[in-house]
A and B are shown apart, each in its own frame.
Chain A
Amino acid sequence: GAVVSQHPSWVICKSGTSVKIECRSLDFQATTMFWYRQFPKQSLMLMATSNEGSKATYEQGVEKDKFLINHASLTLSTLTVTSAHPEDSSFYICSARKDRYEQYFGPGTRLTVT
């Protein structure tokens, strides 16, 4: 199989603090991982493409200084939401690309900023 985990699954933080979310491919190596954001009852919005050993590629309108992505190994990518504000509250989902055609999704992280 192809299993992707995320940690934490749920986090509450105070406004102004930073939060780190981990995405791990447990049984395969992934040179490419993706980070998505999903608002309630809405579709997934691609935030950035994370490439192992190089800088992430951000989609238009996504602040790279606010959403820091690090892909230091073939099995781990992290998303850090810096100086979080209530409008950053959302469901964040990562995926890892195993082969040319498919990406496998993590279970998501629910972020609530108070």
Chain B
Amino acid sequence: AQSVTQLGSHVSVSEGALVLLRCNYSSSVPPYLFWYVQYPNQGLQLLLKYTSAATLVKGINGFEAEFKKSETSFHLTKPSAHMRDAAEYFCAVSEGTNAGKSTFGDGTTLTVKP
């Protein structure tokens, strides 16, 4: 079984500040982990993924995430927030044997203040 917990349903930062969105996972096998972004009334766009290669993963739009097995975490960060980063962010986990069938976290709404 697999699960994802996103800590903090709402995160608010000032433009230019560090963005940190937290994700902890549970998986019975080595996981594949993903971060997606969703803008209103749109589908999901993949930001980055971890698939058992490098533990520090760089994605699009300046985002990166670090896989920490000891902490079962995959937190998403961006050094400097931009107004266009305001959106809903979802962390997801899938087990290697059935990758693609993912379990999603509840999402974190990121607000960026001018």
Q: Which residues of A contact B (CB under 8 A)?
A: 4, 6, 32, 34, 42-44, 46, 49, 91, 93, 95, 97, 100-108, 110
Q: Which of A32, A46, A49, A93 touches B43 (beta carbons < 8 Å)? A: A93
Residue-wise, chain B 26-54 has the 8 Å CB interface mask toward A (1 for contact) of 00000010001000011111100101000
Nearest chain A CB to B44's CB is how many angstroms away?
4
Q: Check if B90 is an interface residue, CB within 8 A of chain A.
A: yes
Number of chain B residues whose Cβ lies closer than 8 Å to a Cβ of chain A: 20
B interface secondary structure, majority:
loop
Q: Check if B114 is an interface residue, CB within 8 A of chain A.
A: no
A49-B101 in contact (CB<8A): yes
Chain B contacts for A46, CB-based, 8 A: 101-103
B101-A107 in contact (CB<8A): no
Query: Which 5 pairs show the lowest CB-CB distances between chains A and B?
Result: A105-B43, A97-B100, A105-B44, A107-B43, A43-B104
A interface secondary structure, majority:
strand
B107-A43 in contact (CB<8A): yes
Q: Check if B66 is an interface residue, CB within 8 A of chain A.
A: no
B101-A108 in contact (CB<8A): no
Given the interface contacts A43-B106, A44-B90, A107-B43, does A34 sit within 8 Å of B49 by beta carbon?
no
Chain B contacts for A93, CB-based, 8 A: 43-44
Chain B contacts for A104, CB-based, 8 A: 46
Chain A contacts for B90, CB-based, 8 A: 43-44
Q: Which of B41, B45, B105 touches A43 (beta carbons < 8 Å)? A: B105
| Closest B residue by C-beta to A110 | B41
Query: In the complex the two chains form, what is the Cα distance from A71 to B108 in whole Å?
Result: 33
Query: In the complex the two chains form, what is the Cα distance from A34 to B102 in whole Å?
Result: 10
